[in-house]
Chains A and B, each alone.
Chain A
């Protein structure tokens, strides 16, 4: 179970939403170390109960069309339970074909696919399909049915009575963030993003253990896409489905995937790894090209900012007295971060100007830029804040937007070096021991809190 060992590393703060820093728990094999977010811990225990059912195992599968074209070439993948596995690659790489072989919309030519240990051809094809949710580009809603009827389709086919199916559909509308008032509307009355939410709700309706998603978000605009991705992660956090997700967008793959399978033209697997490993160690030139520029910076998304050494030295309240200001504004502190009475950042003041004046003038401050949320945002976000900040210092806030400290570009660079060293060290240890294990958040310094 090689791929599982990667899951014990520090979390993926690239994920927005309630996912905890250490929350990449798959199959419940590790327990949350963080302990900060009780809700997330509950979600994790649900994973545990689900056990390792619904594991999809693709064994040396080939799809050859009658004209001799090979769409998928001896592909083997183990899709872990309760996690998001992304198939990504250029067009013609066989990713959609692979997905469709799982619910037999395309029949494989050679090899076999096991679902929960049993060959998928063992059960009637429509029974198999009803046990897997399917989300498709442009949603593919039934335009002649209301939203609630669309969502209730599979439960109705499975013989649920109308009332129960409807209640279930209404629950799901809420879960995917749709207003209940839309229930009686028809698909044409919804925006593209709303339609795609309905598509997700419809796929979840009969609570299938597996969700197949075929480029579900590629037809919506980038802003809506980002929102839908975040919502998917939120829903996944709650439900812990086994999701197979197809996309041609490597950024989407890295954002959503617990595991990413990069496929190349001709239906061959180029690399199958967690996104962090993909970015740090692309298997070959093709994967490297496909990942594109900025790998190093993007990989910082997988390092938590929790280990950053913050300082509160330059932080002053807007109503601070002249003496307090003078005390803060030492030679090492060229700028002061001014906060309001609640501790929320207002902006930067030049230390020279502040000292000797009659207090701080909130109107004269330099913008503090976008702060990052300490512990939850990644080192990449922290670095971004520092680079964009007029003073070169990044402002760290807590979940309520109150300042917890500031970090200089140098501090962040140091944290990045430490994080890399730690990650490498654990990889070496792992290689030596041949056993799962990783540094986790325990290795991070949390002095600033």
Chain B
């Protein structure tokens, strides 16, 4: 590799190493998702509690998602300047369109009899939400988080439009300015790998959080359980019962 044309050689105007850009990129992508999750939880809870609220909320988040990021930047730059914050605010707003429905559907998918059981055991509505509904919604929430995170990682690049706030995306504009197409390759490949790695990480966290989910085929699992404990009691007892 010569003449600064290597995969990991970053033009000095970006004032970052390759790893520095990755760190920057992750920060700008993940903080909005975290913020979006923090906003979505109460919004979704309200939507579950007051069913009529859900359609308008869904409508609003969709419309916000339809606003181009450039329009957001033009509007926000007066308040927050050409900073990361200006990039992260639209990304936060965009994540809502995925996260709110994910949480609402997840919480709504909790079986009626589970909720009835919780109510009958004297759970307050807060206990019910925190100890029953939310944990059971974790798989659905993580499905939403994965989409929101991957899309956020790819969207950070538009930050380059407001002056080097696009992390890895800045390489794209540099590729254009310096006529170095290899920078574009570096940008695109790195962003894609980042998205895949973070996605895998989220899957891992989800699996740690939900040991209670059937893994693989349910019947295969059931069979292995029976192999360990012997036949289920009621498979044995009817015989005694029938013998009587």
Contacts and interface: CB of A to CB of B under 8 A. Distances in A.
Interface string A396-422: 000000000000000000000000000
Contact of B237 (A128, A154, A187, A227): A227
Nearest to B215: A188
Contacts of A373: 244
- Interface size, A (range): 35 or more
Indicate the member of B117, B211, B214, B228 with the most A CB atoms within 10 Å. Answer: B117
A226 B238 contact: yes
Nearest to B136: A144
A138 B244 contact: no
Nearest to B232: A191
A128 B119 CA distance: 11
Nearest to B135: A144
Contacts of B235: 191
A105 B111 CA distance: 17
A157 interface: yes
A127 interface: yes
A144 B121 contact: no
A224 B212 contact: no
Given A138-B111, A185-B225, A194-B232, A143 B212 contact: yes
A189 B241 contact: no
B51 interface: no
Contact of A157 (B122, B225, B241): B122
Contacts of A127: 122
B232 A193 contact: yes
A140 B112 CA distance: 8
- Interface size, B (range): 35 or more
Interface string B128-166: 000010011010000000000000000000000000000
Given A145-B212, A157-B121, A226-B238, A188 B116 contact: no
Interface in B112-128: 113-124, 127
Given A188-B218, A227-B234, A129 B121 contact: yes
B229 interface: yes
Contacts of A346: none
Contact of B221 (A16, A177, A189): A189
B234 A194 contact: yes
A305 B238 CA distance: 24
A191 B234 contact: yes
B3 interface: no
Nearest to A205: B121
Nearest to A219: B113
A226 B241 contact: yes
A226 B228 CA distance: 26
B179 interface: no
Contact of A105 (B116, B136, B214): B116
Nearest to A194: B232
Contacts of B232: 190-191, 193-194
Interface in A179-233: 179, 181-182, 185-191, 193-194, 197, 199, 202, 212, 223-224, 226-228, 230
A226 B234 CA distance: 10
Contacts of B122: 125-130, 154, 157
B233 interface: yes
Contact of A144 (B127, B212, B228, B244): B212
A146 B241 CA distance: 30
B119 A105 contact: yes
B210 interface: yes
B225 A189 contact: yes
Contacts of A360: none
Nearest to B117: A140
B58 to A, nearest CB: 27
Contact of A103 (B113, B120, B218, B222): B120
B121 A153 contact: yes
Contacts of A136: 113, 116-117, 120
Contact of A134 (B117, B225, B229): B117
Given A188-B214, A188-B218, A230-B241, A140 B116 contact: yes
A124 to B, nearest CB: 9
Contacts of A178: 233
A185 B230 CA distance: 15
Contact of B212 (A186, A191, A228): A186
Nearest to A126: B122
A194 B114 contact: no
Contacts of A154: 121-122
Contacts of A185: 225
Indicate the member of A132, A140, A228 with the most B CB atoms within 10 Å. Answer: A140
A197 B234 CA distance: 10
A227 B121 contact: no
A212 B122 CA distance: 14
A139 interface: yes
A142 interface: yes
A137 interface: yes
Interface in A60-91: none
Contacts of A101: none
Interface string B103-114: 000000001011
A394 interface: no
A65 to B, nearest CB: 18
Across the A-B interface, give the 5 residue pairs with the lowest CB-CB distance, nearest first: A140-B113, A134-B120, A140-B117, A126-B122, A129-B122
Given A125-B122, A143-B212, A227-B234, 13 more contacts: A126-B124, A127-B122, A132-B120, A136-B117, A136-B120, A144-B210, A157-B127, A182-B229, A186-B211, A191-B222, A191-B232, A191-B235, A230-B241
10 contacts: A130-B121, A139-B117, A142-B117, A146-B212, A189-B225, A193-B234, A202-B121, A223-B241, A226-B241, A227-B234
Interface of B: 111, 113-124, 127, 132, 135-136, 138, 210-214, 218, 221-222, 225, 228-230, 232-235, 237-238, 241, 244
